[in-house]
Amino acid sequence: MMKIEVQTILDHEDIKNKIRRIAYQIYESNVDEKEIILAGIALNGYVIAERLKAILEEVSALQCTLCKVTMNKTAPQGTVETSLNASEYKDKSLVLIDDVLNSGTTLIYGVKHFLDVPLKQFKTAVLVNRNHKKYPVKADFKGISLSTSLNERVKVRFKPGKDSAILE
């Protein structure tokens, strides 16, 4: 039996700082906007969206609206559902958020869903960006970029006071 080696990439404080930095980058990119939609891919992307909203509302006058994006991450080409109706994000600035950009599959199907409606601006944000993309999708805002082997996995865990991103 092979032992899986686990390496911490980001600890609780690192994640807090990365999310704060992403929030400032989102604000800089939307400085002339009154409202922004933070669309988080459930589960972890939505947790990040909630944290970004709290920081953005603390440091700016932006009105931030959360949108939960639900999809089957193992078969994302299926139905993508959002907690907002298309009319609620039409012609607005939207940031699609996930925890890890790995192959790009989840993010590209999330992007595809929102392309059915005209948007004022469309950006993507991830906490961890890996360089194994098989789709032409990029993260506009990222916490950390990693070069990893294909057989390594990145997992982000959100636990009160013990957030972590690990490589195994």
Q: Which residues span the domain enclosing 148?
A: 10-167
How many structural domains comprise the chain? 1
Tell me if 1 is assigned to some domain. Answer: no
Helix axes of 44-59 and 12-29: crossing angle, nearest 10 degrees: 60
**Residue 128 pLDDT:** 96
Please check whether residue 18 is in contact with residue 143, taking contact to mean a CB–CB distance below 8 angstroms: yes
**Residue 62 pLDDT:** 96
Domain with 120 in it: what CATH number?
3.40.50.2020
Phi, psi for 165 (deg, rounded to 5): -125, 125
Residues 25, 30, 35, 39, CA torsion sign: negative
Q: Which two tokens stand for residue 99?
A: 């925890």
Number of Cβ within a 10 Å radius of residue 120: 15
**Residue 80 pLDDT:** 94
Please check whether residue 30 is in contact with residue 1, taking contact to mean a CB–CB distance below 8 angstroms: no
Tell me if 2 is assigned to some domain. Answer: no
Place of tokens 């993260």: 139
Please check whether residue 53 is in contact with residue 39, taking contact to mean a CB–CB distance below 8 angstroms: no
Tell me if 5 is assigned to some domain. Answer: no
Tell me if 4 is assigned to some domain. Answer: no
Q: Is the peptide bond before 107 cis (omega within 30 degrees of 0)?
A: no
Residues of the chain with pLDDT under 70: 1-4
pLDDT above 90 as % of the chain: 79
CA–CA separation, 146 and 128 (whole Å): 7
Distance of CA 162 to the CA centre of its chain: 19
Tell me if 3 is assigned to some domain. Answer: no
Tell me if 149 is assigned to some domain. Answer: yes
